[in-house]
Amino acid sequence: MMLDCGHQCPSLCGEVCPTSKFCQVCATDEVKSVCVDFLEMKEYKEIDLDQEPCIFPDCGHFLTVSSMDGQMDMAEHYKLDTTGLPEQILRSSEPFAMENKDVKNCATCRGPLRNISRYGRIVRRAILDEATKKFISWSNSEYHLLAAKLVTEQENLAAMQPTAIRDPKSGAAGNLTIGGLRQRQLHCLRGYIDKRYDSILKMRKEITSYTAKVRKEEQPFQRVADLVRHANLHHDRQNEFRYDESVIQAKGSLLASTLLLKCDVLILSDFFRLFLDKKSDLAKQDVKLDLSPFMSDCDILIQRAKKGVYPREEAQGHIFSAQLCAFSRSLASTTSNLSIPGTERPSSTPTYDPDTLDKLRIQGLDHIQEARRILAENQSTNVLKNDIDIAEEALNGGVYRPVTTEELRQVYMASTGELSGTGHWYTCPNGHPFTINNCGMAMEEAPCPECGVRIGGRNHVSVEGVRHAVEIEEIAREIGGFRL
């Protein structure tokens, strides 16, 4: 390539050519005397551009390729050949992988290097880390808002007067038969309970919308991977964007699933409170519900939380399952038909069938036992003790009562840390992100708010396994308006 002046381009093939101001022949003495080789301390005029071309950032502070590669730690990211050219990527992307390193900027003015194709992966990886951090902060903030709304909905339900179950077509009491997916059953309940659940079901739509926004496909790394895959298909190429699956932040999706199940359990618990109220106008023998879809989703929540080492959400999955077993026992004790959680189809059982009641009680108590085991092993789940006690009491013949709104608030506050993005970011050995405010360095040890492993440290030294993404905060200041 040639510059406008007609002389050789001093840059790498594939990079944008600089202006003729940087021509090694036409340049001023000031430009020619710039030290561009930090290894041999050579000036620009001494460089053989055929052997050692230069890199020209937008800021104008240019260096030889070997000097710039050394500053960018190319050998830590790529396998290089004998000439210094990258042959292949050393490893896939890991969560906040560029910890304990300076931001890869111009060494002279700290200007960005995003226009340099050679270093695109290194620089843009930091941007993806920043996008992931913002995603985590947003999802936690949104969760707080939705959790507060759900507390309000619980208060509203508790304050309402009992409502009779009536057929929306005939107006007669009883004759309630519902099956199908969770959402369909709850919307059917709205028709039988007049307008009692209008507000909370409207709020449930907000949780469903939030659930869609925090799924794996919406996260920065996955979106980039999907774009690369789409481009490969369109251009018939084999390029691959590889990353460690642990970089996908599962907590937002788990919190959304937990919140949605909690909303459903609140509606069901209110329904069963009406159902068991002797003063209410209910024909109990004609009420038939299928709770197996709810139980199935609880099982999915338990498995996902266990895989991601989120004991609080895992324990809540067991608590919800125990509550559903208690609800089913209420139906089994008063109706002639029941759908047993954990079965594929509704099964008919005689009224007060002791075997069915025992099976449901044992199934529920198994979940209680698992929840108590998690509670004993993880300090972060202590806030769920009262939920476990209440569910166990209902299984042993007591009347189910939902936790108070204040207890519910404590659970929600414990379910997510203050990840505002204003502190310094770290990940625990299990990959759960957290922040340290004030000076940003570890001054004391503490359990991870998610899994309970040791985090923090002493005298500014982090405990083993904790990873520090020091460059993320600097990237945030540089590209504060960035959105993926």
* pLDDT averaged per 10 residues in sequence order, the chain, 484 residues: 90 90 94 92 94 92 91 81 72 52 72 84 73 79 91 90 68 61 87 85 95 76 63 62 54 90 93 69 61 94 91 95 91 56 43 74 95 92 91 78 62 55 64 60 64 65 52 40 35
Residues 74 and 190 grouped into a single domain: no
Q: Are 14 and 34 in contact (CB under 8 A)?
A: no
State which of 393, 414, 435 marks the end of a domain: 414
Q: Which residue from 74, 75, 55 is spatially nearest to 64, judged by alpha carbons?
A: 55
Check residue 188 and give its pLDDT: 84
CA distance 146 to 152: 10
Domain that holds residue 67: 20-124
Check residue 241 and give its pLDDT: 52
Does some domain include residue 88? Answer: yes
Residues 173 and 117 grouped into a single domain: no
Check residue 363 and give its pLDDT: 94
Q: Which residue from 282, 241, 387, 236 is spatially nearest to 326, judged by alpha carbons?
A: 387
HSE-up (13 A, CA, CB side) for residue 407: 13
Check residue 202 and give its pLDDT: 95
pLDDT digits (tens, 9 = 90+) for 423-461: 566 777 776 766 665 544 455 666 777 777 777 655 555
Whole-number Cα distances in Å, 483 to 121, 305, 434, 476: 17, 29, 21, 11
Q: How many residues does the chain have?
A: 484
Does some domain include residue 134? Answer: no
Does some domain include residue 426? Answer: no
Check residue 482 and give its pLDDT: 35
Residues 179 and 299 grouped into a single domain: yes
Q: Which residue from 336, 325, 397 is spatially nearest to 368, judged by alpha carbons?
A: 325
Q: What is the pTM of this model?
A: 0.68
Check residue 275 and give its pLDDT: 74
Cα-flanking dihedrals φ and ψ of residue 240, to 5°? -135, 135
Residues 298 and 397 grouped into a single domain: yes
Does some domain include residue 443? Answer: no
Whole-number Cα distances in Å, 224 to 1, 15, 89, 125, 220: 32, 23, 17, 11, 6
Does some domain include residue 13? Answer: no
Residues 209 and 342 grouped into a single domain: yes
Residues 286 and 205 grouped into a single domain: yes
Does some domain include residue 116? Answer: yes
Residues 409 and 317 grouped into a single domain: yes
Residues 176 and 74 grouped into a single domain: no
Residues 181 and 282 grouped into a single domain: yes
Q: Structurally, how many domains does the chain consist of? A: 2
Residues 294 and 393 grouped into a single domain: yes
Does some domain include residue 140? Answer: no
Whole-number Cα distances in Å, 438 to 265, 423, 441, 468: 40, 7, 8, 15
State which of 414, 446, 467 marks the end of a domain: 414
